[in-house]
Amino acid sequence: MSMKPDPGWWKTIFDDVYLLTDARSVCDQDITRREVDLICELLPIRSEHRVLDLCGGHGRHSLELCARGINHCTLLDYSQHLLDHARTSAAGFDYPMDFVRADARSTGLPAESFDHAFIMGNSLGYIQEPGSDSQILTEANRLLRLGGWLLVDVTDGAAVKESFNPIAWHEIGTDIVVCRERNLEEDTLYTREMVVSKEKGLIRDCNYCVRLYESHTLGALLEEVGFKEVDVHTDFSPHQRTGDYGFMNRRMLGVGHKL
Ligand SMILES: C[S@@+](CC[C@H](N)C(=O)[O-])C[C@H]1O[C@@H](n2cnc3c(N)ncnc32)[C@H](O)[C@@H]1O
């Protein structure tokens, strides 16, 4: 069976099933806290700063920043489902977050609205048209004030290629099994993902693909769209245990300054 996805796969996949299949990474509060420790280490965020959580999903990083007293966080994502999830969580804590549903390539937000922006959790490389990641980073650059910072956290393509695993599966609780079949073609990783509930049967069978970056290509992309003082930190592995965590272990963090 072909693993070539529908080009718009990223518009529909980020829902409750994603929150199950990726729960080990994106619903683990301890991992999110460590990722936010890194955000705070790499970006000079102060409590009065306006922060953009671009492609922020269900808002775990913004929520944790709010818990740390950063009160001007805007969560932007395409998935209405994940935004609704975030809105409910923020309301539960009375956090004053803003929510925007938009395509990160063209957000419609005013230029220079933020002091910092970050794109966490391997959220680049989904759109197959050439130049789409560059469009997202150009938009991030436009949204930052002069002197603002961008942080991009993506899987380390070199590490993925080195330990390429064509078949992986993991269980979630007693009911769910997630099976992934992968094919690597140059810098794109194609995946077929099947999610089976022992109780209900097959609940998802989908294909997706992600463009992989290595430290030099991520650095070059940040420079190409105009960021200065670009630095790429490799070797961020939030999972302590060995196992196949898809794109969510062996990550790298690219930082750029708008000057
Ligand atoms: C793997 S999730 C990570 C979410 C979040 N950053 C985290 O670490 O939990 C990727 C997210 O990127 C969003 N996304 C991908 N491409 C996007 C685009 N062009 N515009 C807006 N959101 C996008 C998806 O909707 C999804 O919520």
Q: Quick one: three-class SS letters along 141-185?
A: HHHEEEEEEEEEEEEEHHHHHHCCCCEEEEEECCCEEEEEEEEEE
User: Does pLDDT of 237 surpass 90?
Assistant: no
Please give the number of the atom of ligand 1 that sits closest to the Cα of 22.
1
Asked if residue 108 belongs to a domain, the reply is yes
Confidence of residue 3 (pLDDT cuts 50, 70, 90): confident
Tell whether 173 is covered by a domain: no
pLDDT at 59: 98
Domain contains 166: no
Single-letter residue type at 129: E
Q: Pick the residue with more confidence: 232 or 24?
A: 232
Q: Considering only CA atoms, which of 176, 171, 172 is closest in space to residue 203?
A: 176
Scan for tokens 């060995």, then name that residue. Answer: 242
For the entire predicted model, the pTM comes to 0.96
SS3 107: coil
Domain count, the chain: 1
- When pLDDT is cut at 50, 70 and 90, the band that residue 244 belongs to is low
Closest approach atom of ligand 1 to CA 105: 19
**Hey, whose CA ends up nearest to atom 7 of ligand 1?**
121
Q: What is the CATH number of the domain that holds 57?
A: 3.40.50.150
Position 236 scores a pLDDT of: 75
Centre of ligand 1 to C-alpha 124, Å, is: 8
Smallest CA separation from ligand 1 atom 26, residue: 57
Q: What is the mean pLDDT of the chain?
A: 94
Distance separating alpha carbons of residues 58 and 87, to the nearest angstrom: 8
Q: How confident is the model at residue 241 (pLDDT cuts 50, 70, 90)?
A: low
User: Is 180 part of a structural domain of the chain?
Assistant: no
Q: Is residue 86 part of a domain?
A: yes
Q: Determine the residue of 13, 14, 87 to mutate for testing ligand 1's pocket, defined as the one with the most ligand atoms within 8 A of the Cβ atom.
A: 14
- For residue 77, the CA-to-ligand 1 centroid distance in Å is 6
Mean pLDDT of 227-240: 85
Q: How far is CA 125 from the centre of its chain?
A: 10
Q: Residue 247's domain spans which residues?
A: 9-155+213-257
The answer to the question of residue 23 being in a domain is yes
Radius of gyration of the chain (CA): 18
Confidence label for 36 from pLDDT (cuts 50, 70 and 90)? very high
